[in-house]
Amino acid sequence: MATFVLVHGGGHGGWCYKLVAQRLRAMGHEVHAPSLSGLADRAHVLSHAIDLDTHIDDVAGLLEFEDLTQAILVGHSYGGMVITGAADRKPERVGHRVYLDAAYPRDGESLYEHAHEQIHMARQGLHDVGGVPMVMAPMPGFAAFFGVTDPELGAWTDARLTAQPWKCFEQKIVFRNEAAMRAIPESHLICTSTIPGRDMTLIDARSHGRVWDIDTGHDLMLTEPKWVAERLDAIAQGT
C-alpha cells in the first residue's frame, strides 16, 4: 500500500489529520502526520528563525530519515507551499503531490503574494510572542473561520489551534529542482467555494484532470474526512 505524509496548514498541527489518518491506516496505508516547527505539539521550539524554509526542511528531513520513497505528500492550505518545497528538495523520494484546498505557488512567490486577500487579513492580527512576530492568534470560535461549524468538532479544533509564525507567510519559495518537482504527478482536492480564485486551466493541465471538488469548509480533512480519505486512497491506487 501507499505511504502518505500529511502536512497541515497555518495554525494547525498533525492533529488535524487524525480522522483522515485513522481511515487511511485502516485501509492499510502508512501515514505520517508531523507537526511543523513552532506549531501544535512543537510550539515549544518556537523561535525567530522559523520560516517557510524551516517547514520545508521539516518535511524533507522526515522523508530522508524515515527513508521514504514514492511518498504521497498531501498539503492543506499553507501546507501546499511546504509540500511543493519538499518535493523540490527531495524529488527522488516523492511519488505524488496532493493539494488539499491548498496554496499552489510559483517560483519566487510567498503565500502573502499568492493568497494576498486572506493573508493580508491575517496580518492585521500581527502580534509578538517572545520576540517572534505571529499571526492567527487562536480564540474561542476561531474554528468557524476554517469552515468547522459543528459545535463539538469546533470546540475540539479551537482547543488545538496555535498562532502561526509570520515569516512563514512572508518568505518567498525558491525552487532548486523545478523540472524534477513538476514531473512528479499531482492531484487537487478543492473546496467548491475556492474554485473562482484559482487558475483552474493551469491546475487541470498540470494534473491531467486529477481535480475533485466538494462543497464544504476549508478544513475539509475535519469536515469531510471520509471523502478525503477515500479520494486519497483512490489517488494512491491510480483511480
Just list the catalytic residues: 77
Region label for 131, one of left (φ > 0), alpha (ψ between -120 and 50) or beta (otherwise): left
CB 168 within 8 A of CB 10: yes
Cα(183)–Cα(1) distance, rounded to whole angstroms? 22
Let me know how many helices (H) and strands (E) the chain has, helices first. 11, 9
Helix (H) or strand (E) holding 78: none
Could you give the residue ranges of the DSSP H alpha helices within 37-115?
A: 52-65, 79-89, 111-114
Q: What's the rounded Cα separation, in Å, for the pair 220 and 146?
A: 9
Distance (Å, whole) CA 27 – CA 25: 5
| Cα gap 228→91, rounded to integer Å | 24
CA distance 193 to 36: 27
The beta strands (E) that lie in the chain are given as 3-7, 30-32, 71-76, 94-100, 127-129, 132-135, 164-165, 186-191, 211-214
